[in-house]
Amino acid sequence: MRARPAGKGRDVKTPVIKAENVDLVFQTGDGPVQALSDVSLDVGRGEFVSFIGPSGCGKTTFLRCVAALEHPTGGSLSVNGMSPDNARKERSYGYVFQAAGLYPWRTIARNIRLPLEIMGYPKADQAARVQKVLELVDLAGFGNKYPWQLSGGMQQRASIARALAFDADILLMDEPFGALDEIVRDHLNEQLLALWARTGKTCLFVTHSIPEAVYLSTKIVVMSPRPGRIADVIDSPLPKERPLDIRDTPEFLEIAHRVREGLRAGHAYD
């Protein structure tokens, strides 16, 4: 196995993700599309950052840039102090998509094992890691089930487990709970917070839901479209310990209000 990324021991102040004036222009059939414009953002170690904004404002694109699935056409972006491409080679992040994307021909355990097989972890280590992350997402005992035997929420948890299996210290999540109903979603949000507290990962989380963003985050990035840019960055004063009913407190509602204002301001452009 390769050495752990150098970032792990560094102090909390050094940003894990540092974006400076990032621009991204897609060349499409009907001309260029400015997906990201002048995006600057620092994400510290262990932060939980939510991205919220209307459709097409570049949330997915930004996450994909961090994952080196897209490459900025301008500005600079570093992940764990490296280029995104190198950060990927160092297995710095796990990516969770909106759809669980589990292979129907593999059991849950073997799905979670897949990235480990690809990265060449030793066999014995693989089994132990799978077991550990299954417990982490509360799916112990479901390892031998096939994806279609699980509910949508359980499948999404399995896909989070898969992203956690190889010890990446950044977790990128693009609307992971977008397709689930509100009650399941509340439950998963609680679990996600507990998981974040336990593992200390740096999380980047895309959502369309204001309560979800406020409930989960230490930092909320409000974005606006055409061109995609950051309208507001809100640092949450909420404590780390967050029971679900924190959502009825005045502090919570105040942040939610500020997010809503930020979204409205973004819309005023069109």
Partner 1 sequence: MRSVLPILTVVLAILALWYGAAVALNARWTLDQAARAGQELTVSQIVSDTLQQERPKLPAPHQVGAELWKTTGAMALEGRAFSKRSLIYHGWVTLSATLLGFAIGAGAGILLAVGIVHNRAMDRSVMPWAIASQTIPILAIAPMIIVVLNSIGITGLVPKAIISAYLSFFPVAVGMVKGLRSPDAMDLDLMKTWGARAGQVFWKLRWPSSMPYLFTSLKVAMAASLVGAIVGELPTGAIRGLGARLLAGSYYGQTVQIWSALFGAAILAALLVGLVGLVQRITLKRMGMAR
Tell which one of 50, 60, 156, 236 touches Mg ion (CB under 5 A): 60
Cα–Cα distances in angstroms (integers) from residue 90 to residues 20, 117, 130, 143, 155, in the given order: 22, 16, 20, 27, 27
Shortest Å distance, C-beta 105 to partner 1: 4
In the block, tokens 């980047």 appear at 204
Specify which residues 204 forms β-bridges with.
Answer: 49, 172
Nearest residue to the partner ligand ATP, using Cβ: 60
How far is it, in rounded angstroms, from Cα 111 to Cα 109? 5
Quick note: the x/- pattern for partner 1 over 30-69, rule CB under 8 A, is -------------------------------------x-x
Among partner 1, ligand ATP, Mg ion, none, partner that 91 touches (CB below 5 to 8 angstroms by kind): partner 1
How far is it, in rounded angstroms, from Cα 219 to Cα 209? 15
Region of 49-57, 117-125, 151-159, 164-172 interacting with ligand ATP (CB under 6 A): 49-57
How far is it, in rounded angstroms, from Cα 181 to Cα 37? 33
Tell which one of 93, 177, 205, 215 touches partner 1 (CB under 8 A): 93
Q: Which residues ranging from 131 to 160 are in contact with partner 1 (CB under 8 A)? A: 146, 148
How far is it, in rounded angstroms, from Cα 53 to Cα 60? 11
Strands in 192-237 per DSSP E? 202-207, 219-224, 229-235
Identify which of 142, 145, 140, 73 has the alpha carbon closest to the alpha carbon of residue 104: 145
Tell which one of 5, 7, 94, 262 touches partner 1 (CB under 8 A): 94
Among ligand ATP, Mg ion, partner 1, none, partner that 228 touches (CB below 5 to 8 angstroms by kind): ligand ATP
Nearest residue to the partner Mg ion, using Cβ: 60
Binding site for ligand ATP (CB under 6 A): 26, 28, 33, 35, 55-61, 228
Binding site for Mg ion (CB under 5 A): 60
